[in-house]
Amino acid sequence: MQESGSKSISAIVIVAALGYFVDIYDLILFSIVRIPSLKSLGITGDELLSNGVMLLNMQMAGMLVGGIIWGVLGDKRGRISVLFGSIIMYSVANILNGMVQDIPQYAVLRFIAGIGLAGELGAGITLVSEVMSKESRGYGTTIVATIGILGAVAAALVADYFEWRTAYYVGGVMGLLLLFLRISVYESGMFRNIKTENVGRGQFHHLFTNRKRFFKYIKCILIGSPLWFVVGVLMTFSDAFAKKLGVEGVTPAKAVMFCYIGLAIGDFLSGYLSQVFKTRKKIIFIFILLTNILMVIYLFFNSFGTFYFYTICLLLGVSCGYWAVFVTNASEQFGTNLRATVTTTVPNFVRGSVVPLTLLFQFLNAKVDIIYSAAIVASISLIFAYISASKLEETYGKELDYIEML
């Protein structure tokens, strides 16, 4: 369903893409500036790790809460209100993060930032999916994801050249500048149509009241779990893996940067291939398989030096680049009255899956070798992803102008 001219649709895609760019910038920036920011607040020694983990958990808690709040609002109030509401929240939170003077302030603001960060991607993907034709919407969502992922690279570069407070200010200002583009963006016609009907919208609990709908929702989440295992474990603890493999000089910051460069490439490739071959399901399955192969190489055949190690990190990012198709697929699986709820909560629950995956990894690491503990957790996430991808319906070219019967 194409509602307006190509210029109006292009504006929506651009705003959604730039919003996600700043979203990822802030999401990754905290991990990059965590240590220098804590040191400047007087934190030293073992407290660097404990406070860092606490702040990261506060951010993640905010994203899980925000995913539900923004998702419900997206179906009740509209995609545009969530798109710009979330951008305002995380932009202001970014600026305030640059002004923190103690850990309690930092914790509250990371929670608020997490809430803000939870809304942009889901609202943007939902809006783009609904305003573009069913044959071409995959290109739009691919552009959003590909440009957005590059925000991580920007965060690494800005944090490398500027003091941590300035890096936060840059993110906040970038987000606020996006608000000037609001006049070029219009609401989805599909959403406007159901607003006039007596239809239940944004009722999160209805995802759990119907067996078929519930399992479809869970499968949408599980196909993305290997993505955040790679980022949350293999990249975050890359220095520990490198040391075990006998590779010197590897830093998590560089590993994450190379991984995200690969993610941007992979997002473009997966989205483009899903359009060329007219299938979301098969492309997701192929990329999960590639991720599986590269995980094995990373863990067991990765002792050939720093350049080789970072190359594998980049290739893992490429294989995990089915994020674009994964989020598009989630959006296409459900009716208009639950679409924003699903599209917003699914990626945030996938991000949240890094918590149990990391806890399981740490538990196993205390009992077995770090390599084998990672291999066990990776196998679990991959098995669930394979099963889920094989069971989901194909959504390429699916008509989205329908509602879920609640």
Per-residue pLDDT reduced to its tens digit, 104-122: 999 999 999 999 988 888 8
Residue 192 counted as domain residue: no
What pLDDT score was predicted for residue 83?
81
Longest dimension (CA), the chain: 64
pTM, two decimal places? 0.85
Domain boundary among 183, 216, 247: 183
CATH number at residue 230: 1.20.1250.20
Residue 295 and residue 166 share a domain: no
Pick from 171-175, 323-327, 402-406: least confident: 402-406
What pLDDT score was predicted for residue 4?
46
Residue 122 and residue 218 share a domain: no
pLDDT in tens, 240-258: 889 888 999 888 878 888 9
What pLDDT score was predicted for residue 2?
43
Residue 227 and residue 360 share a domain: yes
Q: Which domain range does residue 58 map to? A: 1-183
Residue 398 counted as domain residue: no
Nearest Cα to Cα of residue 29 among 169, 159, 207: 159
User: What residues contact 314, with CB distance under 8 A and at least 6 apart?
Assistant: 258, 259, 261, 262
What pLDDT score was predicted for residue 239?
84
Give 397: exposed, middle or buried? Use CB within 10 Å, 0-12, 13-18, 19+: middle
Residue 121 and residue 229 share a domain: no
The tokens describing 75, both together, are: 């179906």
Residue 168 and residue 64 share a domain: yes
Residue with more model confidence, 57 or 102:
102
Residue 229 and residue 172 share a domain: no
What pLDDT score was predicted for residue 395?
85
**1 has a pLDDT exceeding 50:** no
What pLDDT score was predicted for residue 406?
67
What pLDDT score was predicted for residue 5?
54
What total of structural domains would you count in the chain? 2
What pLDDT score was predicted for residue 214?
92
Residue 263 counted as domain residue: yes
Residue 406 counted as domain residue: no
Residue 248 and residue 118 share a domain: no
Residue with more model confidence, 353 or 294:
294
Mean model confidence pLDDT for the chain: 86
Distance CA 390, CA 108 (A): 41
Residue 399 counted as domain residue: no
Residue 298 and residue 341 share a domain: yes
Instruction: Look at residue 294 and give its three-state secondary structure.
Output: helix
pLDDT in tens, 124-173: 888 888 888 888 888 888 898 889 888 988 998 898 889 999 999 999 99
Residue 69 and residue 107 share a domain: yes
How much of the chain exceeds pLDDT 70, in percent? 93
How much of the chain exceeds pLDDT 90, in percent? 30
Residue 144 counted as domain residue: yes
| Residues 34 and 253: beta-carbon distance below 8 Å | no
Residue with more model confidence, 70 or 201:
70
Residue with more model confidence, 53 or 86:
86
Residue 241 and residue 173 share a domain: no
Distance CA 393, CA 377 (A): 27
Residue 307 counted as domain residue: yes
What separation in angstroms does the CA of 218 have from each of 204, 222, 258, 378? 13, 6, 30, 18
Pick from 8-12, 263-267, 335-339, 378-382: least confident: 8-12
Residue 159 and residue 63 share a domain: yes
Domain boundary among 123, 151, 183: 183
Residue 226 and residue 366 share a domain: yes
Domain boundary among 183, 217, 251: 183
What pLDDT score was predicted for residue 201?
65
